Structure 1
Amino acid sequence: MKSDNIAMEDLPDSKYLKQRRLLTPLMSKKVPPIPSEDERKAYGEYHTNPISRMMFWWLNPILKVGYRRTLTENDLFYLEDRQRTETLYEIFRGYLDEEIARAWKKFQESSDDPREFKLPIYIIPLCLFKTMKWEYSRGILQKILGDCASATTPLLQKKLINFVQVKTFSNVGNTGQGVGYAIGVCLMIFFQVLMLTHAFHNFQISGAKAKAVLTRLLLDKSLTVDARGNHYFPASKIQSMISTDLNRIDLAVGFAPVGFVTIFPIIICIALLIWNVGVSALVGIGVFIANIFVLGLLVSSLMLYREKAMVFTDKRVNLVKELLKNFKMIKFYSWENSYQDRIENARNNEMKYILRLQLLRNFVFSLAFAMPVLASMATFCTAFKITDGKSAASVFSSLSLFEVLSLQFILAPFSLNSTVDMMVSVKKINQFLQHKDTNPNEFSVEKFSDSTLAIKVDNASFEWDTFEDEEKDYEEEAKTKDNIEDEDHNCATETIKGKITVDYKSDSDSISSTLTKGVKTAFPGLNNINLEIAKGEFIVVTGAIGSGKSSLLQAISGLMKRTSGEVYVDGDLLLCGYPWVQNSTIRENILFGLPFNKERYDQVVYSCSLQSDFDQFQGGDMTEVGERGITLSGGQKARINLARSVYADKDIILLDDVLSAVDAKVGKHIVNTCILGLLGGKTRIMATHQLSLIDSADRMVFLNGDGTIDFGTIPELRKRNQKLIELLQHQRDPGQDKEDLSNDLDIQGSTDEGQQIEHADEHKEIVKIIGDEEKAVNALSFQVYYNYCKLAFGKLGYISMLVFIIVSSLETFTQIFTNTWLSFWIEDKFVSRSKNFYMGIYIMFAFLYAIMLCFFLFLLGYFCVKAAERLNIKASRKILHVPMSFIDISPIGRVLNRFTKDTDVLDNELLEQLIQFLSPLFNCF
């Protein structure tokens, strides 16, 4: 949806859009062209001269282009092998397996119960550091050098102030010496900024790589985790971890080192403070140490609130995903208000803990920001009490040292907070990784070679895993469930023997028949199954509803847990089950990555009765089906799914009720031309309720409903299986004779539906349904900020804003006047006043600053949390009442991202950014 306030861009329609910036009128009107794929350049940092690398000049070309027009993918650098996720993941995976093996060996020395094993929380951060140790270590070294330069700069400042004092009052000293001091201060500041800039650049690059590597780790684990793991970590929770938790780890990788390298500038500052003001500096240092202990005590509370908030965050995300997946049904039954109440209830519970977390975090920030003022107050009051006074050079250079110390302690809470968030996220990831992988021996299908048999099932039994409906606390579950195997701890399952293609996918977490789902079911499983199916046979599988027809096909495919016996397959096998389609063109759905063979493609389209459907679409088979196949009917999805399976040309094809969504006429055409025609030489096993098909089958499998089967020819089963006889009698319409029933899908009937094979055009244009994601162009309008402030300040509006401005002004005034009063004290501005007068006023303003700062941060935190809460609720109400057409053309991932990643930015990151922006802004005024 395009906003009225923000210029938006749709890249396919407009290749790029001019940017309107402050200096745009002074620049050439010629817009830089978009480079071709061959003209893209490698990441410039490693291919430039030292000066350019030091000053980041290698970024200038892309910055110039981005200033004049919107950037496209071809404008960006391409990644070399050493920067690619595949390369980094292989390195990380090696370290991870090594550390897990070491932790397991250490655990075995103290315990014999593998169920008690837990992945140490330090393993993932340690492996990430080993993976990126060079650039990360370089960043740490640069941070240390920058901080040391910042800590030693007051030395030159003291010399410069002394020189100015002497030169002013006695006109003694060489001017060149003073200029040298001034240049030295400038160079030290330049070196400090240069080192810190490069340090944070390395940290942020490392964070981005860590996020990419962990995304791959979670995706790989989600494909191999066992049914229990998938029950407690469904797709929505994994998506939440990828979009939210990994983002926090990315942020923490950049901020965590800041808190750990502060020891170096702190030692330098303490030494220089003692040299400047003597032992009185120890009093101020004591204030810093006391604050450190307070910060340490608050860490556990921060982690507790974060963990509690994440429980409701996951619940809210699950509800939103459930809403988006079942939007049509919710609209049909008018359940919008019910879902709105559930989502808002989860959001309100989530925000209770986030508010507490933010207020506690801001209290930590207020202590860090007020620390230099309180420490300098304690130091100078002690110094002036012990001695008659100190020089301006000593006092103000000491103030600079306290500012350096304060900077370290201001960054320390950010580092501490991000580290806490990272450890909570790592703990959650560890819980997921601790689940066992699918045991390949329970789901394997053995390859064998036989001249006559295609499939052999030898006395095999199968079952679905079952779990409690209500999820228990994971910490208790982890102690009682099998979390790791004795033999294998590498999170990667062995390759299933034999080449088996599975065309059975579902976009719903609730589909109980997939490999990775374990839910309560009344189905008892399959017991003592014995089957021998010859090559080229057509087998019909039937039985009462719920007797296990689909389960039998999945058991043969290796998708159902096998408890005993063996399954053997000779040839490549494909299961055609749930009518899943991907968000692509119809042709790409049928080809599914295989090369386009025009002759075979035309045969498949005709045999699956799709040509008449193609004629209905403007783009024919090059029409996009949309997400979840919104442009297709149920029958069209089923036939496209069948066409994909037929085009794959496998030796064995399992068809799971593929005719259920088509009418009798189309079904007859598919049976005659596809199943009995184009697939005539293949081994076919078809599960169906269409009992009229059994006479066309070579043999039949009948499921008795108790987990057993009856296998044989149709005449044999009709004689000996009473349940089959009853089913045939039950499903026969009383007013319909045998001939009418068999004519529904008469295999001897005509196959002419008025269709003819039409040759596919290989160069058709794609007709798009799903729009590309829009991008903001130019700066945000004032209306965006105004609307955010309205949400933040709520009903009181201007009154709340006025209170906030007054508190902010008082906080800034007390901070500035504290130092101003200190200068009055040093120069004894009010001669008639005693030392205690100056000291009392100084102490009063110092404490007033600390109080107003705490009040300012509390108000800012409260307003930001309320804005985030109201904005998210407005978004959820909006999405509940949009027309169905909006959901049809909007990918779920794009919409869901607004309720995961973007909401997390509003809840957590935006407040920290506002603190860093508003504090210096108010100081300017």
Structure 2
Amino acid sequence: VIDFLNSSATNNPPPAWHGYSLAIGIACLTLAQNLLYQRWNLGSVKLGIYIRSALIDMIFRKAATLSSHAHLVYSDGAIVNLMSTDVSRIDTACLQMMIVFCVPVFTCIIVGLLVHLMGPSALLGAGILILVNPLLGWAMSRLAPIRKKASQFTDNRIRLTSEVLQGIKVIKFFGWESRFLERLSEIRRNELKNVGKLLYIRGSVAAASAALPVLASSLSFVLYAATGNELKPEIIFPAIAYFTILRTPLMVLPSAYTLTVDAYVAIKRIEEFLLSEESKPLPPPDTNHPDALTMKNASFVWEQLRGASSDTLVPTASSGTDEKTGDESTPTSSLDISEDGVLPYLSRLNLSIPRGSLVAVVGPVGSGKSSLLQAMVGNMTLSSGRVIRGASMSYASQTAWIQNSTVRDNILFDTPYDETRYRRVLRACCLEADLRLLPAGDKTEIGERGVNLSGGQKARLSLARSVYFDAGMVIMDDPLSAVDAHVGKRLWQDCIMTELRERTRVIATQQLHVLPDVDYVIYMQNGKIAEEGTYKELIAKDGQFCALMAQYGGVHAEEEQDVAEEEEQKEENDEIISDGTPIKSMGREPFVALSSSQTVPLPQHSDEKKADIYENESSGKDEKPVEGETAQQKLMSDEERESGAVKGSVYSGYLKSSGWMVWFGVLSFFFLQQAANVLGNQWISWWSSDKFDLTTDEYMGIYVAWTLAQLVLVFAASLLLSFAVIKTAGAMHDNAFGMVLHSPLAFFDTTPLGRILNRFSKDVDTMDNVLWSTLYEFTITSVTVLGTVILIIVSFPWLALAVVVIAVLYYALSIYYRTTSREVKRLDSNMRSFLYAYFSECLTGLGTIKAYSMVNRAIIKNEHRIDLGNRPYYMFQVGSRWLSLRVNFLGATLSFSTVVLMTATRFSISPATAGLVLSYLARISGDLNWVIQRLATLENNMNSAERLVHYIENLEQERPSERPESKPKDIAWPSQGAVSFNNVSMRYRPGLPQVLQGISFDIKAGHKVGIVGRTGAGKSSLIHALFLLSEIDEGQVVIDGIDTTTLGTLDLRPRIGIIPQDPVLFHGTFRYNIDPMSLYTEQEIWQALETSDLKAYVQAQEGGLDSMIAANGDNLS
């Protein structure tokens, strides 16, 4: 085009159609390049979706086959982190990794064109580009070990976050919020130290990449002029165009390399998980076997850490602290358990259970009762001997696993609905009266972990599931311990003795009065069958079993004594709405070996069967309320989903987290560096036309000064942006989690754990690692486009008309696209939460799922959720391609219009001006597209900030932790323990009926008072009122003369103690679990253990108080 304009200034100008032909050619080439690029990009998107879907499915399948030993290394939180964050990094890298290979090739082509244009002078700039790029690559390669270390801290943070959310009720009981927030913040600070290193390296490399073309072009021009060459427009401006074209790919290269490195680290982490130890299966049921179950000299182990004493049937962990991650961890050496080096916890068992028999398993605490049942269903590892199972099994675990679904769905457990059988099971399990109390009967959503059911209701629901399931053998782990005496009697008679009379039944129990009714009794002691036989035979032996009977109620206890003993068992909770601690299944259930029926390869489901499951899943039973269901009947809240553009308050909340002045400095540096870039190129245009009549050295010196200014400013902008992102991410995480911790208990009852974890895993990862690239690329490209437009209009005013028209179309297109893309992105985020919630739920109840041989169905349901999540994600990516095609068409139109106008004004426009305008137009199409893409991506990524800002600004908070005006002046308060309830009324959350209505009573100091009542009477509600876990509507709770309703939470809760119904243990040492606030001396801790009859046990552990407890106490009985 410049040659055409130069020729137009001669005596024999070319015809105008030459110029118009050039305009058409430029437009066509631009459109063809764009079309090919978008096809490649769409292929990369599809590849990423395929890989993402396959990896999530593989991780889920692997989690279902993970050995209990490997599950010590990979907690539920770590597995969720692999599925969410690591898989997302691999998916994202599929769009970028080809850039890593293409940019060097592209650079070599541009260098060749520069050498052809400028001769040997271009080799200086080319040499800089060729030599510095490998150095930048080497710098980026240093990211891998830093990313790996940061991921370790991320795993620890997610694990602790998961534990805190599951144990939130206990944390609130004891007022431990600040301690756990401090511990989490410490891990977060260590995580951000490594993330900060990553961002500073990325910022430096990105700044160097952006500065490289500028530096290379400047040195080449200086050398070109210094060697006596004249700076002609037809040489200078095509060269500037070439160097300018290089700027965008070199700017994107650091981000692409970072994503590729992150993906590589994620692949290695997932590979390590997929290669971890799997459970060893039992053989599948043999229906031809005469007995329901036979064990021949069978020994079983928990594939966990060695160190348990000989009389203890639970594995223990030795103490260890990871100096690199700053968190307690299990020494790797302790995990190397050999086949013949593991102490069996169930030793040389020999038993045969006839079909249709009723067998009771009894013994003292820790004797191996639950372990024997776990071994029967395949949840322990068979180390020697033989096990033959002659029937399919169902299982009611000691701690009930409840799905986030309706009562009916929990009982059916994906089996066909038979109304007659269903009603019979409800009656047998004493659930009919409870269902009448629920708002929508058996279609009431009971919420994650059964938070709106009492302990007894959860136990009976779990029992009903095992009874309804069509299995030949029903395994029940102490289902009577969580219910009232009269309910237990009915369960025994109506369910176990009557409904299940034709099936084989094995029940572990401490209700010794029922033993005369059973066919066979197995007495466990130290992991062995110490005695076995009928009840009368064992009584006649006068052995250990007889001693147990004498110790716990006597051999000939009367019925009244039996009822009294049952009342001494753990009282069931009472709430019908919003009660229940968010606790994962305790004991060993989530960390068990795979049962035999699931260890065989996944059978090939027919398309019809898979389609049936998909149809059931899509029918909305998991997502939609039942017909006529009101907001009160629907327990779990829908995830909030904003509509319209991301509100200014979100951006404001994000920016103010690190301070406005920091972000003002970032923007100032970006604008100043672009101003230096524009003035530098304008200066070389003036140099080529000798506008100021200066010497070559003077022109050269000023040009070099503009170049150096660009280098300094772009480095300052990149590094300051890194600092701002790190500071903001840290502040927002701590603020959001602090608000979550101090939310009322009702929030946790109505919000799935997976939803909260999604915000503190995927959304926080976006804030840490993704948003920096988006902010950098959007800001530097936006100021570049702004500078380009200003320069073009000032240099070539005729182009202003075309720019205005295209700008209007560009704006309309961006509004149209962003309106759709942000809603699709929000839907994508919500569907991810839907997937994560199910994934977490299945991990929690994996032991139950495997015992029922329902792993295959769970896999299919998970695959369906993956497919549902892929839909909005794919639509979002296709929308991006749609936008790119149209924006590049506008860019091609602008280039076409420019050349047409230059042709029309070819006799008046100077070649220098035309060259300057064309050099910037060379990248205007790509920059316009990149601005909208980055703006849309920024808005979509700000959805992550939006979700955290929602927690920071909108979460309802409990009463203040301290109220100085009413704080007890006596530091020993309460010292007497006199309690008065005066006309107390309370509800669990607004809109629900009152669970306490005008309650008044007095408890005198020092008295021991028992609170009794059937399910739903309000027993645990009194505890809620006493600890102010729910706000009181009216009335007073007075302790030692002080009205507790006037106190802050920390003025009250740490001063009164409680033994919760559901125990909660955290991953850490015995010392940490007993005294997380570090308030007591070692002597006081040992005294507490002695009082609890645990001193000898802890002393026997390697490390004593510093020996490790697995998450949820899964290495304890």
Corresponding residue number in structure 2 for 1:530? 350
Measured after TM superposition, the shift of residue 739 of structure 1 is: 4.7
Of 353, 370, 377, which aligns to 1:557? 377
Does the C-alpha gap of structure 1 residues 676 and 861 become closer, same or farther in structure 2, counting only changes over 3 Å?
A: same
Alpha-carbon distance between aligned partners in 1 of 2:523 and 2:751, rounded to the nearest angstrom:
44
Alpha-carbon distance between aligned partners in 1 of 2:128 and 2:504, rounded to the nearest angstrom:
81
Does structure 2 retain, via aligned residues, the 8 Å contact 1:362–1:857? yes
Of 456, 461, 467, which aligns to 1:635? 456
Does the C-alpha gap of structure 1 residues 614 and 810 become closer, same or farther in structure 2, counting only changes over 3 Å?
A: same
Does structure 1 retain, via aligned residues, the 8 Å contact 2:368–2:527? no
Corresponding residue number in structure 2 for 1:791? 657
Of 483, 490, 499, which aligns to 1:669? 490
Corresponding residue number in structure 2 for 1:705? 526
Query: Is 1:587–2:408 an aligned residue pair?
Result: yes
Count of residue correspondences: 707
Measured after TM superposition, the shift of residue 169 of structure 1 is: 5.8
Alpha-carbon distance between aligned partners in 1 of 2:753 and 2:691, rounded to the nearest angstrom:
68
Measured after TM superposition, the shift of residue 197 of structure 1 is: 2.4
Corresponding residue number in structure 2 for 1:810? 672
Normalized against structure 1, the TM-score is what? Answer: 0.73
Measured after TM superposition, the shift of residue 446 of structure 1 is: 5.2
Alpha-carbon distance between aligned partners in 1 of 2:635 and 2:333, rounded to the nearest angstrom:
49
Alpha-carbon distance between aligned partners in 1 of 2:667 and 2:563, rounded to the nearest angstrom:
83
Measured after TM superposition, the shift of residue 263 of structure 1 is: 4.0
Of 534, 537, 540, which aligns to 1:719? 540
CA shift digits 1:519-558 (9 cap, x unpaired) = x99x961122111222221111100111001111111222
Does structure 2 retain, via aligned residues, the 8 Å contact 1:288–1:371? yes
Corresponding residue number in structure 2 for 1:819? 681
Does structure 1 retain, via aligned residues, the 8 Å contact 2:298–2:386? yes
Corresponding residue number in structure 1 for 2:768? 907
Alpha-carbon distance between aligned partners in 2 of 1:808 and 1:272, rounded to the nearest angstrom:
30
Alpha-carbon distance between aligned partners in 1 of 2:779 and 2:160, rounded to the nearest angstrom:
36
Alpha-carbon distance between aligned partners in 2 of 1:823 and 1:171, rounded to the nearest angstrom:
26
| AA partner of residue 531 (structure 1) | L
Measured after TM superposition, the shift of residue 733 of structure 1 is: 7.5
Corresponding residue number in structure 1 for 2:210? 369
Alpha-carbon distance between aligned partners in 1 of 2:409 and 2:354, rounded to the nearest angstrom:
33
| AA partner of residue 388 (structure 2) | Y
Alpha-carbon distance between aligned partners in 2 of 1:589 and 1:483, rounded to the nearest angstrom:
37
Alpha-carbon distance between aligned partners in 2 of 1:480 and 1:551, rounded to the nearest angstrom:
22
- Counting only pairs closer than 5 Å after superposition, residues 269-288 of structure 1 correspond to structure 2 as 269-288=110-129
Measured after TM superposition, the shift of residue 479 of structure 1 is: 9.8
| AA partner of residue 528 (structure 1) | R
Give the match's secondary structure for 1:632.
coil
CA shift digits 1:488-518 (9 cap, x unpaired) = xxxxxxxxxxxxxxxxxxxxxxxxxxxxxxx
| AA partner of residue 461 (structure 1) | S
Does the C-alpha gap of structure 1 residues 385 and 769 become closer, same or farther in structure 2, counting only changes over 3 Å?
A: same
Does the C-alpha gap of structure 1 residues 562 and 701 become closer, same or farther in structure 2, counting only changes over 3 Å?
A: same
Alpha-carbon distance between aligned partners in 2 of 1:432 and 1:224, rounded to the nearest angstrom:
11
Measured after TM superposition, the shift of residue 874 of structure 1 is: 0.7
CA shift digits 1:119-151 (9 cap, x unpaired) = xxxxxxxxxxxxxxxxxxxxxxxxxxxxxxxxx
Alpha-carbon distance between aligned partners in 1 of 2:563 and 2:732, rounded to the nearest angstrom:
60
Corresponding residue number in structure 2 for 1:347? 188
Name which of structure 1's ranges 345-354 and 876-885 shifts more when overlaid on structure 2. 345-354
Measured after TM superposition, the shift of residue 737 of structure 1 is: 5.1
CA shift digits 1:398-441 (9 cap, x unpaired) = 1111122333322221221111111111111121122132222x
- Counting only pairs closer than 5 Å after superposition, residues 287-366 of structure 1 correspond to structure 2 as 287-366=128-207
Corresponding residue number in structure 1 for 2:797? none
Give the match's secondary structure for 2:142.
helix
Measured after TM superposition, the shift of residue 639 of structure 1 is: 0.5
Does structure 2 retain, via aligned residues, the 8 Å contact 1:584–1:625? yes
Of 278, 285, 288, which aligns to 1:449? 288
Give the match's secondary structure for 1:536.
coil
Does the C-alpha gap of structure 1 residues 706 and 619 become closer, same or farther in structure 2, counting only changes over 3 Å?
A: closer
Corresponding residue number in structure 2 for 1:865? 726
Alpha-carbon distance between aligned partners in 2 of 1:882 and 1:174, rounded to the nearest angstrom:
76
Does the C-alpha gap of structure 1 residues 216 and 763 become closer, same or farther in structure 2, counting only changes over 3 Å?
A: closer
- Counting only pairs closer than 5 Å after superposition, residues 246-265 of structure 1 correspond to structure 2 as 246-265=87-106
Corresponding residue number in structure 2 for 1:432? 273
Name which of structure 1's ranges 401-410 and 621-630 shifts more when overlaid on structure 2. 401-410
Measured after TM superposition, the shift of residue 643 of structure 1 is: 0.7
Alpha-carbon distance between aligned partners in 2 of 1:871 and 1:843, rounded to the nearest angstrom:
42
Corresponding residue number in structure 2 for 1:837? 698
Measured after TM superposition, the shift of residue 184 of structure 1 is: 1.3
Measured after TM superposition, the shift of residue 855 of structure 1 is: 0.3
Name which of structure 1's ranges 530-539 and 242-251 shifts more when overlaid on structure 2. 530-539
CA shift digits 1:70-89 (9 cap, x unpaired) = xxxxxxxxxxxxxxxxxxxx
Corresponding residue number in structure 2 for 1:466? 304
Alpha-carbon distance between aligned partners in 1 of 2:697 and 2:364, rounded to the nearest angstrom:
96
Does the C-alpha gap of structure 1 residues 466 and 920 become closer, same or farther in structure 2, counting only changes over 3 Å?
A: closer
Give the match's secondary structure for 2:347.
strand
Give the match's secondary structure for 1:708.
strand
Query: What are structure 2's unaligned runs of at least 5 residues?
Result: 306-316, 567-624, 788-1117
Does structure 2 retain, via aligned residues, the 8 Å contact 1:529–1:709? no
Alpha-carbon distance between aligned partners in 1 of 2:285 and 2:332, rounded to the nearest angstrom:
33
Corresponding residue number in structure 1 for 2:245? 404
Of 466, 469, 473, which aligns to 1:648? 469
Corresponding residue number in structure 2 for 1:490? none
Does structure 2 retain, via aligned residues, the 8 Å contact 1:456–1:567? yes
Identity fraction in percent: 32
Measured after TM superposition, the shift of residue 741 of structure 1 is: 3.3
Alpha-carbon distance between aligned partners in 2 of 1:484 and 1:295, rounded to the nearest angstrom:
46
Alpha-carbon distance between aligned partners in 1 of 2:176 and 2:739, rounded to the nearest angstrom:
14
Query: Is 1:781–2:651 an aligned residue pair?
Result: no
- Counting only pairs closer than 5 Å after superposition, residues 184-203 of structure 1 correspond to structure 2 as 184-203=25-44
Alpha-carbon distance between aligned partners in 2 of 1:483 and 1:533, rounded to the nearest angstrom:
32
- Counting only pairs closer than 5 Å after superposition, residues 589-608 of structure 1 correspond to structure 2 as 589-608=410-429
Of 687, 693, 704, which aligns to 2:514? 693
Structure of greater relative contact order (alpha carbons < 8 Å, 6+ residues apart): 2
Does the C-alpha gap of structure 1 residues 850 and 483 become closer, same or farther in structure 2, counting only changes over 3 Å?
A: farther
Corresponding residue number in structure 1 for 2:952? none
Corresponding residue number in structure 1 for 2:636? 770
Give the match's secondary structure for 1:662.
coil
Corresponding residue number in structure 2 for 1:267? 108
| AA partner of residue 286 (structure 2) | K
Give the match's secondary structure for 2:657.
helix
Measured after TM superposition, the shift of residue 329 of structure 1 is: 1.0
Alpha-carbon distance between aligned partners in 1 of 2:60 and 2:23, rounded to the nearest angstrom:
56
Measured after TM superposition, the shift of residue 764 of structure 1 is: 7.0
Does the C-alpha gap of structure 1 residues 625 and 837 become closer, same or farther in structure 2, counting only changes over 3 Å?
A: same
Measured after TM superposition, the shift of residue 830 of structure 1 is: 2.0
Alpha-carbon distance between aligned partners in 2 of 1:603 and 1:846, rounded to the nearest angstrom:
85
Does the C-alpha gap of structure 1 residues 480 and 433 become closer, same or farther in structure 2, counting only changes over 3 Å?
A: farther
Corresponding residue number in structure 2 for 1:143? none
Give the match's secondary structure for 2:379.
coil
Measured after TM superposition, the shift of residue 170 of structure 1 is: 4.7
| AA partner of residue 368 (structure 2) | G
Corresponding residue number in structure 2 for 1:738? 558
Does the C-alpha gap of structure 1 residues 606 and 704 become closer, same or farther in structure 2, counting only changes over 3 Å?
A: same
Corresponding residue number in structure 2 for 1:611? 432
Corresponding residue number in structure 2 for 1:849? 710
Corresponding residue number in structure 1 for 2:1094? none
Does the C-alpha gap of structure 1 residues 725 and 258 become closer, same or farther in structure 2, counting only changes over 3 Å?
A: same
Corresponding residue number in structure 2 for 1:123? none
